Amino acid sequence: MQILTILIPVSLLLGGVGLAAFFWMVRHNQFDDPEGDSQRILSKEFDDQPKQ
């Protein structure tokens, strides 16, 4: 049971780091175009390239 005194603060610290990283990414516009890549990969311009 003494391991819980170590595991609980470590898990809270890691959760806080993940939350801080998420807010940093949102603040720096990392999630501006979530559908753009999916549309670009399906566009016709990639189909016109010759196969090797």
The more confident residue out of 8 and 36 is 8
Enter the pTM of the model: 0.60
Q: According to the model, what pLDDT value does residue 36 have?
A: 76
Q: According to the model, what pLDDT value does residue 29 have?
A: 86
CB 51 within 8 A of CB 45: no
Q: According to the model, what pLDDT value does residue 11 have?
A: 98
Neighbours of 40 (CB within 10 A): 11
Structure token digits, residue 14 = 């890691």
Q: Is the pLDDT of residue 24 over 70?
A: yes
For residue range 30-50, list pLDDT tens digits in order.
Answer: 878 767 777 777 776 655 555
